[in-house]
Each structure stands twice: as structure tokens, then as C-alpha cells.
Structure 1
Amino acid sequence: MAPPRILIIAGSDSGGGAGIQADIKTVAMLGGHAMTAITAITAQNTLGVQAVHPIPTETVLAQIESVVADIGVDAVKIGMIGSAATAHALADRLAVLPQVPIVFDPVMVATSGSVLADDATIAAFRRLMTLATLVTPNLPELAALGGDAAVRAGGAALLAKGGHGDGDMVEDRLVTDAGTRLFTNPRIVTRHTHGTGCTLASGIATGLGAGLALEAATGRAIAFVRAALANAPGLGGGAGPMGHALGVAPFDALTH
């Protein structure tokens, strides 16, 4: 059986903890085939983002056309967007992509605190939210977008991520037309949380691309994020990357 084909539209993280790099690792670990349209190149590590170079909009679109025309797409994950112009162009292109689930992670600020989207780009997010199957903001992003009603105005489901909340439990809230489903888990106390949002959104997209229902895809992706957090390798001096390989070398595990 062919793996689900997941198109990732996001920025590159030179430190390997978030962005395209985290997305590819997640999709591979969950049984999908990852394809990419890179929107920006960043110089970043666990301490912060030192430089951002947006990719020209026409080049982002060319990457999408290349994979759609030849390989096809079963689900789309959108992360960091390099500019407002690219956000609008993506909305135009994805609007004609037939019946493909879209998971939109409205990235505004990196785990380190660095700003990754200006006001014009955030304003353009509203067009993408009307196309999305699911929007996955954390609590500060949800507030910046105007709350539940604003996110769901276009018909998308909402996953309000609870990692920025207080307390010993993390509550992720999935809101759909059918109601609200809470995913509640003990907080994993670690500074190595870089890429959690990217990983979660890509994990859900992989599940949807494989035909899972939204609630099942969300539950599996949350479980994977928690396993990756528990297996973080402890790299860097700041918000370090998670352990997407879950503490093993998968090829070696298969051959022994």
C-alpha cells in the first residue's frame, strides 16, 4: 500500500528542531511520504532565530506545482509563511486543490520567542483559515487570531493547543461541528520543546492523509509528540529539539 503523500508548506530550521526538518521526520515516522514547499530559510538554533530569508512567492508556488503535477497530494500541512504575498498566493492555489485535507498551523512566534510573522502576514492567515480542515494555534496565537469564533468562522475545526497554559496537566481542545473533545495529559517538564507545534500539525496531516478521522489523527499525533518530548536528546543550550526517532536508530532496530 502506498504511503500517504503529505505536502508540507513551511520554513526551514537550520537547527533541525522545528519547521520543515521536524515535519519531514514526523511524516516519515508516522508512515507518510513528505514533500516540501519551503517558504523561508532561517538561521536558527535552540537559542533563537538569527536571520530569515523569505523565498520568492513564485518559487514557493513552483515547488507546489512540481509535486502536485507528478506525485499527487493526500494532505497538506501549512506552517511558517514567509510573507503576506505568499499567504495570499497559497490561498489562491489551495482553493483549487480538490478535496484534500489541510492542516494550518498559524506560526507567529518561535519557541525561543522570535517573531516569525509580521502583521500583514497574520492578517492574510484569515484566508487560509477559510480553506483549512483544521487550524492548530497555541493559546497566544488563538488570542491573536480573535478566539474560537474567529478561527471557526470559515468552517475549519480548531485544535487549541494547551502547552502554554498553567498547571500540571496539558489540555488540548478539539472543536468541531460535532462538539468539543478534550485531550488531557500530564505535562512533560522539559526545556526541549522546540518544534512541538510543527510536529503535531504534521502528525495530524499524516493521519488525515492516511484516511483517519480527525479525532483519531489528532490523538495519534498528540501521543507521538509526547513520546518525542520524552525522548529529547538534550541538544543545545536553549529550547532544544525533541527526539523524533524516539531514542532508537530505526534501521538498526529492524536489522537486529
Structure 2
Amino acid sequence: MHKALTIVLLGILLVGCSTTLDTSSTNPPTAPHSTSSPPTTQHPATENNSQHTTTQNDSQYPTTQNDSQHTATNDYVAGRELFKLQRDSDSALGQRVTDFFPLPAGAVLVETRHFGAQQFKANLVSKTGDIFPLVNDEGYILTTTLHSFAAGQYLLDMIINGEVTFIIRTPDIEEATSWSGAGKKFTPFFTLSGTNTFEMSFQGNGLYIVSLYNQAGERIAVLAQGDTTEKTNTDVTVPQGLYLLGIESTGVWDIQLK
């Protein structure tokens, strides 16, 4: 009976050991769970985050071409040469298209000197494709015309068939109170404010016109128009600013600011 009891006890011990081993064998599947945490360390270096701080637009913005052009074309300075082209009769004949160049907003003078038997043509073209005819004549050309454009970038599309000097500039400033001359002319800028009297006289045949323009290139008054040789007095009231006179005449003229 003692031997039988011993065998029973050994059997119980063996069953208990096998149960303990089976329970511990179910623990390993929990180990892979701890290895899933490393991917969270990749977040600070995501592709989207690194690109956001070095976007192409951000790096180019401070030096955009539009910004540099904006400051170059908004400053109006009297007496400044904005464009000049000189060609002799043996060079650069035919069509010529210039690079873009800046023009300010306001009055500009276009001076043309052309020596040749054929056509000389010049069109100003904006970056948006707007075309402004400046000159279209042939033979000997000696003209000065007044224009006004929006600030921006422009090019010249030209046909040259002779010796030419072509200049675009802003008018000079000269604080004069009298002007005299013959034919067509634009005076330099001068300062006006309040009510002023212009005394004008003409000698010659044909029509004469005297116009007053502001700095923007706008004609604000016609001071004289006719074909008489008598003196003409005209009063005009203006805000303080820069103004110039445009005279069209076939004879001699004299203008006094009283």
C-alpha cells in the first residue's frame, strides 16, 4: 500500500509540471507588441514636414522679378533719360525689337531724329500686348511728342531705314516765367499754384494752340487757340504742382506768366 501511494504522488507531481510548462508557452506572442513602437520616431522627419520649410515659393518670393520691376517703374524723376537708340545709316536697318525696359507713370517726351528716304516706325508694346504707336513717317523726321503711360515694362518694335536717334525721357524742370520760340515745342516743367495769368502773342500765318499739361501728362486747359496776332490773356486756377506748356504754331510765339 505504501508503494501504491508513492506512485500516486509521483503521478500528481508530473501532471502539475506539465500544466505549468503549457501556461508559460503562451506568453511569447506578447513580445512582438513591444517592437511596434519604433515607427513613431519617424514622425519628426516626415517628407511633408521637411518640404514645407524649404518650399520653392518661399525661397523665391523675396527676389521675385515683379517686386524689382515695381520699385523701378513707380519712381517718377524729372529730367531722366529712360531709353535711347542711336543707329547710323549702315547699321541695324530693317525691323528691330528691343528688350523690355521700365517706364514710370506720368508725362514722357518722345524725341525722334531720322535721316532717310524711307519709313521709320516705332510702336511701344506693353507686357500685356497693348500697342501704342509713337512714330510712323518717312524721310526727314524731327519731332517731339508728349505721351503718358501706366507704370510698367515695355519694349519697342521699330522699322529703321536710315540714320536715327530715338529718345524717351521725362521733361526737365526749369522755374521760368517766360518762353519764346517758333513752331511746335514743349516747355520744361515749372511750378504753378492758385490762379495765374498767361499773356501770349503770335506772329505768323495759320492756327496756333497753347495747352497746359500736368505732371501726369493730362491736358487740363487750352490757354489759346486761333489765328490772330493780337495778344491773348488767359487766367487758369490749378492746385500746386508741376506743369508744362505745349505749343503748336507755324510762326513765332512769346508767352509770359504774369
TM-score, normalisation: structure 2: 0.22
When Rg is computed on C-alpha atoms for both structures, the one with the higher figure is 2
More helix by share: 1
* TM-score using structure 1 length: 0.22
